[in-house]
Chains A and B, each alone.
Chain A
Amino acid sequence: MTGEALLSVRDLQTVVRSGGSDVPVVRGVSFDVAAGEAVALVGESGSGKSLTALSVMGLLPEAARVTGGTVRLAGEDIGSLDEAGRRKVRGSRIAMIYQDPMTALNPLMRVGAQVVEGLEAHGVRGAQARSRAIEALGEVGLPRPERLARSYPHELSGGQRQRVMIAMAVALRPQVLIADEPTTALDVTIQQQVLALADDLRRSTGMALVWITHDLGVVARIAERVLVMYAGRVVESGVARELFRAPQHPYTAGLLGSIPPVLGSERPPLPQIGGAPPDIGRLPSGCAFHPRCPQRVATCPEAEPALQRRDHDLAACWVPREKWVS
C-alpha cells in the first residue's frame, strides 16, 4: 500500500498550546491516499479532522505545531521541508479549500487577478497565467469566465465563491486536493453541484481528493474510502461500502444509526449515542469514546485500543463487532 500511496501520513502528532501547556489534538494519525482516490475524513467538533488537514498542509495556526510523524507526497518527506519548500509544494502539488471561501479570497481584489497571482507564485507568467486563470474559472463551471474574472468576491454568490476557490486550488493541477467542509455552509442544491464538480475533476485529472466532513451523506456520495476520527485519533477506516454496511467501531455504528431513515412509514425514536464529544483537553482515560459506548467492557477505561484489522477494515476497539450487545 505504501508503495502506491501518493500521500502518506504516518503517526502524525499535533499539539495546541493552551493555558501554558501542550494539548494533543492529533494523536497518532496514519493514512494513505492513492492517486485519483477519494477519501473522506469524518468527525465531529474536536475530532481533530481539520487540524490533521492543516498539519498535512503545513498551515497550522500559530498556537499549534506538529510534534511527530511524517507526511510524504509521492515519496518525498514534505513535513521536514522549510517554509520556502513547503510554499512551493502548496498550491502546485497539494492544495486546500475551506468552508468559508472568504478566508481564501482577498475581498479587495478581482477574482481573476487572484487566480493569476496564485499561478504567478509558481512561475506561470503573463499572458499564459491570464489565459490559464480564465480556463480554470471555466473548468469549475462558472459561466462567462472572462467577465466573471473581473468581479470582486462580494459580487458573487456563496456557490460561485466556492467555485472560484476551487479554481484557484486546481489551476496548477495539484496531485492532492484537501477539502475542509467546503459545502457545509451551502444549500443542498448548490452542495450537490460542488460535489459533482469535485468528483468530475478527480476523474478527469486523476487528482486525489481528501474530503473532510461531518455529514455521512456527503461521505456516501463522494468517498471510496473513509477514515472516522474521534478525539484526535482515527477510530475506524475502510472502504466506504463496507464501513457503512457493517461498521466495526461502536462510534461509527452509533453515528450511522442516529440518522433518520429516508424511507418507510414508521418513525420510531432515533437510536442515540448519549453524551457529547469530549473536550480535547480533558479526554477520558483509555478509549476516549468509552463513557458514551454501549459496548464498553472493563478494559476500555484502562487502555486505549490501537487500530487493528477487523473483518474488512481497521477499527480501534477492544470489542469485535460479533461480540456486540444489541
Chain B
Amino acid sequence: MTLVVQDLVKHYRTRDGTVRAVDGVSFAVERGETLGLVGESGCGKSTTARMLVRLVTPTSGRILLDGEDVTSVRGAALARMRSKVQMVFQDPYASLDPRLTVERTLDEVLAVRKVVTGDAERRTRVRELLEMVGLGGSVARRYPHQLSGGQRQRVGIARALAVQPEVLVLDEPVSALDVSVRAEVMNLLTRLRSELGLTYVFISHDLGMVRHISDRIAVMYLGRVLELGGWQTVSDAPLHPYTRSLRAAVPVADPEAEAGRRITPLAGEVPDAMHPPAGCRFHTRCPHAVDRCREDEPALREVVGGHRSACHFSEQLYPDDVGRRASV
C-alpha cells in the first residue's frame, strides 16, 4: 500500500475571507512505513488527516491509494477506500457512542461493514480485536464512561482495526492521555504496526512522540510542509530554521540540560491563515530572514541525501550538518 498525496489543498470560504488551512502539501508513504506529521495549531496537520480519510473533501490536489485516485470517489469506491484507510482520533471519548458497550461498538462496525457475517463469528472477532489491543474480555460489556482514558483509546484503535485496514491515520492519539498512560499506547501502536504490517500517518504537536515512532517526519507550518526527511535527521539535525526553533522550544525533562540551554524564544505568533505572508511563510518569525525570503517562496527541495527543506539558506545556515551527511 502506498499513499501518495499531491499538491493537496483545502481552503475554507468564510464571511471574512478564505482560510488556507492546507495550501499545497505533497508526500508519499510507503507500505509499512510511518510518516510523522508535526506542527503547531493551525499548521494544517489535522485537516490533512481528515482529507486522507475523506472526512473533508480536498479543494484541489490528489490522493492516490496504490495508484488509484481516491480524491473524489463516492459510493462503493469510497467505502472500499475507507476499509483500507482508517482514522484514530485524539479524544476517544468524543468519538465513541456513550450509549453503546464496547462490544456493541465493535459489533456494529463489523455488521455494517460486513467484515464478518454471523453472530457467533462476530462475537469471536470482537474478542480477537480486544485481545489485539490488550483489553481483557471483561471490558467488552462496559460503556465508554466506565473506562479509563487509555482503555478508551485502545477501543478507538480496535474499532479502526475492525475493518482490517492497511493504513491508520492517527490524529494526536496520545495527547489527551495521562502521561503515565502514553507510553503504553505508543508501545501498543508500535507492536500492532509490526504484527499487522500497518502503515501509519502519525499526527502530533509533540515532537518527542513523533520522533519515537516515525520513519520519516514532515514538519508543517501554515498549511505547508517546510521540512521532510528521515526521523533522526529531521528531529536531531534539522535543516529548516522553523524546525530548529520548534525543537528548541520543546522543554526537555532534564533540569541540567535545560539550565545549559540558552534559548531565545521564537518571537511573535503564527500568522493568520487567511493572510499567509508573501514569500517564505515563516519569514515573519525567522531569525535569519532576509529580503529574498519576503518575496520568493522557497520550494521544498532536496538539500542532502533525501532530506528536503523549504528554505533558501539551509546549506549556508547549517553547513556542518549538511557537510557531514553529504560526505557519508
The interface of chain A, by Cβ under 8 A from chain B, is: 44-45, 157, 159-160, 187-193, 195-196, 214-221, 223, 240-241, 244-245, 251, 254-256, 258-260, 262-263, 265, 267, 269-274, 276-277, 292
Q: Cα distance A188–B242 when bound, in Å?
A: 12
Task: Check B250 against A217 for contact (C-beta < 8 Å).
Answer: yes
Q: Cα distance A272–B253 when bound, in Å?
A: 16
Given the interface contacts A195-B251, A214-B179, A220-B257, does A276 sit within 8 Å of B151 by beta carbon? yes
Contact of B208 among A190, A192, A220, A259 (CB under 8 A): A259
**B213 contact set on A, CB distance < 8 A:** 267
Counting CB contacts under 8 A, is B26 at the interface?
no
Q: Which residue of A lies closest to B245 (CB)?
A: A189
Contact of B205 among A187, A221, A241 (CB under 8 A): A187
Task: Check A270 against B179 for contact (C-beta < 8 Å).
Answer: no
| Shortest CB distance A209–B (Å) | 15
Q: List 10 A-B contacts (CB under 8 A).
A: A190-B269, A196-B265, A220-B255, A244-B255, A251-B180, A255-B180, A262-B252, A265-B232, A272-B184, A273-B184
Contact of B187 among A196, A221, A223, A269 (CB under 8 A): A269
> Which B residues from 249 to 282 make CB contacts under 8 A with A?
249-258, 263, 265-266, 269-270
Counting CB contacts under 8 A, is B9 at the interface?
no
Task: Check B183 against A271 for contact (C-beta < 8 Å).
Answer: yes
Task: Check A272 against B249 for contact (C-beta < 8 Å).
Answer: no
Q: Is the interface of B mostly helix, strand, loop or mixed?
A: helix
**A262 contact set on B, CB distance < 8 A:** 208, 211, 250, 252
Given the interface contacts A189-B246, A270-B183, A273-B183, does A220 sit within 8 Å of B252 by beta carbon? yes
| Shortest CB distance A266–B (Å) | 10
| Shortest CB distance A67–B (Å) | 27
> Which B residues from 193 to 223 make CB contacts under 8 A with A?
205, 207-209, 211-213
Task: Check A273 against B246 for contact (C-beta < 8 Å).
Answer: no
Given A217-B251, A244-B255, A259-B179, 14 additional A-B pairs, CB 8 A = A45-B149, A188-B207, A189-B245, A192-B265, A196-B265, A220-B255, A221-B258, A255-B180, A258-B180, A260-B211, A267-B212, A273-B180, A274-B184, A276-B180
**A44 contact set on B, CB distance < 8 A:** 178-180
**B117 contact set on A, CB distance < 8 A:** none
**A193 contact set on B, CB distance < 8 A:** 265-266
| Shortest CB distance B191–A (Å) | 8
Q: Cα distance A207–B303 when bound, in Å?
A: 48
| Shortest CB distance A51–B (Å) | 17
Bin chain B's interface residue count: 35 or more
Contact of B178 among A45, A190, A245 (CB under 8 A): A45
Q: Cα distance A217–B180 when bound, in Å?
A: 14
Tell me which of A44, A245, A270 has the highest count of chain B C-beta atoms within 10 A of its own C-beta.
A270
Q: Which residue of A lies closest to B236 (CB)?
A: A263
Tell me which of A160, A190, A214, A254 has the highest count of chain B C-beta atoms within 10 A of its own C-beta.
A190
**B250 contact set on A, CB distance < 8 A:** 188, 217, 262
Q: Cα distance A67–B326 when bound, in Å?
A: 67
**B249 contact set on A, CB distance < 8 A:** 188-189, 191-192
Task: Check B187 against A272 for contact (C-beta < 8 Å).
Answer: yes
Q: Cα distance A189–B180 when bound, in Å?
A: 24
| Shortest CB distance A197–B (Å) | 9
Task: Check A187 against B180 for contact (C-beta < 8 Å).
Answer: no
Task: Check B179 against A216 for contact (C-beta < 8 Å).
Answer: yes
Task: Check A272 against B151 for contact (C-beta < 8 Å).
Answer: no
**B151 contact set on A, CB distance < 8 A:** 276
Task: Check A256 against B190 for contact (C-beta < 8 Å).
Answer: no
Counting CB contacts under 8 A, is B40 at the interface?
yes
Counting CB contacts under 8 A, is B148 at the interface?
yes
Counting CB contacts under 8 A, is B82 at the interface?
no
Counting CB contacts under 8 A, is B135 at the interface?
no
Task: Check B265 against A189 for contact (C-beta < 8 Å).
Answer: yes
Task: Check B208 against A260 for contact (C-beta < 8 Å).
Answer: yes
Counting CB contacts under 8 A, is B182 at the interface?
yes
**B79 contact set on A, CB distance < 8 A:** none
**B232 contact set on A, CB distance < 8 A:** 265
Tell me which of B207, B249, B254 has the highest count of chain A C-beta atoms within 10 A of its own C-beta.
B254
Task: Check B246 against A216 for contact (C-beta < 8 Å).
Answer: no
Given the interface contacts A44-B178, A260-B208, A272-B183, does A192 sit within 8 Å of B252 by beta carbon? no
Contact of B180 among A195, A196, A219, A277 (CB under 8 A): A277
Q: Cα distance A220–B266 when bound, in Å?
A: 19
Given the interface contacts A187-B205, A255-B179, A276-B149, does A217 sit within 8 Å of B253 by beta carbon? yes
| Shortest CB distance A124–B (Å) | 31
Task: Check A219 against B178 for contact (C-beta < 8 Å).
Answer: no
Counting CB contacts under 8 A, is B61 at the interface?
no
